[in-house]
Amino acid sequence: MAVFIPVFIISLSACGGNQVSENRAECLPLTDSLKGALQQIRGRFDYKINEIDERRHEMDSFLQWLKFTDDNKITAEMRSQILQYNSVYRIYKDFAPKYKGCVLKAEELFYEIKALDKQVKDGVFDSDLPAFGKEYRLLRGQLTMLNAELDEVLGRLNAVEPTYRRIVGPVEDFAETVH
């Protein structure tokens, strides 16, 4: 009789283990989908984290310097380019912090998703699928919001990028010749 009890206990835990394995197997693809969604977002970062902010600071310095430049030294063509430069600066002024915020939020989500994945692999949610579902939906929602914000930010930055590339050289040359 003593032999029967341990075998019975082992068989019960094995049955429970199947359900645990099924729950874990159900959660792992979902955490993988979060990782994949984040990887897609990270792949959209066209600029280095501080690139737009550095441009903004350089542009601000130039525009401040320009206030003290003799108007007679500025040609009509250069005035036109300076107006375009100022327009790009205004976009950068508003969207540089938002871009950096998107990059930092993506990094934060990377660690949150990594922690959730580790919890799943460690069996934290094996017997509590609703808790996993809550965490999953929260992270999925944050990824969706980040993606929407990134759409807006990149839309604006990418819209002015050709103008920036076209006018930055002549404006910098002007600053060097007048300075």
54 within a domain of the structure (yes/no): yes
Q: Report pLDDT for 22.
A: 84
20 within a domain of the structure (yes/no): no
138 within a domain of the structure (yes/no): yes
11 within a domain of the structure (yes/no): no
What mean pLDDT value characterizes the chain? 88
d(CA 117, CA 136): 10
Instruction: Give residue 5's Cα distance to chain centre.
Output: 55
* Residues 100/53, Cβ–Cβ less than 8 Å: yes
Question: Using one digit for the tens of pLDDT, what is the confidence trace for 62-102?
Answer: 999 999 998 888 999 999 999 999 999 999 999 999 999 99
% pLDDT > 90, the chain: 79
Range of the domain at 90: 25-178
Q: Report pLDDT for 7.
A: 34
d(CA 152, CA 161): 14
Q: Report pLDDT for 9.
A: 32
- Domain tally for the chain? 1
Rounded to two decimals, the pTM is 0.82
17 within a domain of the structure (yes/no): no
Question: CB neighbours of 63 closer than 8 A, spacing ≥ 6?
Answer: 85, 86, 89
10 within a domain of the structure (yes/no): no
Instruction: Give residue 13's Cα distance to chain centre.
Output: 43
90 within a domain of the structure (yes/no): yes
12 within a domain of the structure (yes/no): no
Question: Using one digit for the tens of pLDDT, what is the confidence trace for 99-128?
Answer: 999 999 999 999 999 999 999 999 999 889
Question: Using one digit for the tens of pLDDT, what is the confidence trace for 4-48?
Answer: 333 333 333 333 446 667 888 899 999 999 999 999 999 999 999
